[in-house]
Amino acid sequence: MTRHFFEGRSDLFEKYWDTIKEHELRHFFRKYFGKTVEKKDRPYAFVVYGASGYTGSLILEYIYSNADKINLGTDLTFVLAGRTPEKLQARLDEVLEKFPDVKYRPDIFKVNIDSTAHIREMILKCRCVLNVAGPFLNTKADLLVEGCIEYDCDYVDVNGEVPFTHKLIGMHDWAKKKNVLIVPNSAGAGGLPDVAAFYTSEELKKKAKKDADVEKMHCFMFSNGGAPSGGTLATRAAMTASIKHVAKIMGNPFALGGVVGDGKRPEDQDRELNSVRYFKEFEGWSGAFTYAFFDTRLVRRSNWLLSDLGAEPMGRKMNFSEHLLFPTEQAAKSMASSNTSSKKEEEKLKAEGKLFKLGQGLDEETRSKLFTEYHLHANAGDGTTIRTKVIAGDGYDETARLSVEMVLLLTTKRDSLPFEGGVLTPSVAGGRPFLDAIRSSGIAFEVLDDDYKVDFEKVKERLV
Question: Which one of 134-142, 210-218, 331-339, 363-371 is the stretch in contact with ligand NAP (CB under 6 A)?
Answer: 134-142
Contact flag: residue 78 with ligand NAP (CB under 6 A): no
Q: Is residue 236 within a helix (H) or strand (E), and if so which, with residue range?
A: helix 230-241
Contact flag: residue 186 with ligand NAP (CB under 6 A): no
DSSP per residue over 354-403, as a string? --PPTT----HHHHHT--EEEEEEEEETTS-EEEEEEEE--HHHHHHHHH
Contact flag: residue 198 with ligand NAP (CB under 6 A): no
Select 190 or 315, whichever has its Cβ closest to ligand NAP: 190
Q: Which of 131, 139, 165, 425 binds ligand NAP (CB under 6 A)?
A: 139
First to last CA, the chain: 68
**Pairing label, strands 126-131, 44-49:** parallel
Give the other-Cβ count within 10 Å of 178's Cβ: 17
Rg (CA), the chain: 24
Shortest Cβ 112–ligand NAP spacing (Å): 7
Shortest Cβ 138–ligand NAP spacing (Å): 6
Site for ligand NAP in 224-283 (CB under 6 A): 229-232, 235
Bridge partners, 286 (sequence order): 325
Contact flag: residue 403 with ligand NAP (CB under 6 A): no
Select 56 or 430, whichever has its Cβ closest to ligand NAP: 56
Contact flag: residue 189 with ligand NAP (CB under 6 A): yes
Q: Which of 54, 198, 293, 374 binds ligand NAP (CB under 6 A)?
A: 54
Which residues fall within 8 angstroms of residue 53, CB to CB, at 6 or more apart?
91, 132, 133, 134, 229, 231, 358, 359
Q: Which of 45, 46, 52, 411 binds ligand NAP (CB under 6 A)?
A: 52
Which residues fall within 8 angstroms of residue 71, CB to CB, at 6 or more apart?
none
Question: Which one of 23-31, 365-373, 393-401, 407-415 is the stretch in contact with ligand NAP (CB under 6 A)?
Answer: 393-401
For 198, the 3-state DSSP assignment is helix
Per-residue DSSP letter, 384: -
Omega before 135 within 30 of 0, i.e. cis: yes
Site for ligand NAP in 31-50 (CB under 6 A): 50
Task: Point out which residues bind ligand NAP (CB under 6 A).
Answer: 50, 52-56, 82-84, 87, 113, 132-136, 138-139, 158, 160, 187-190, 229-232, 235, 358-359, 361, 395-396, 399
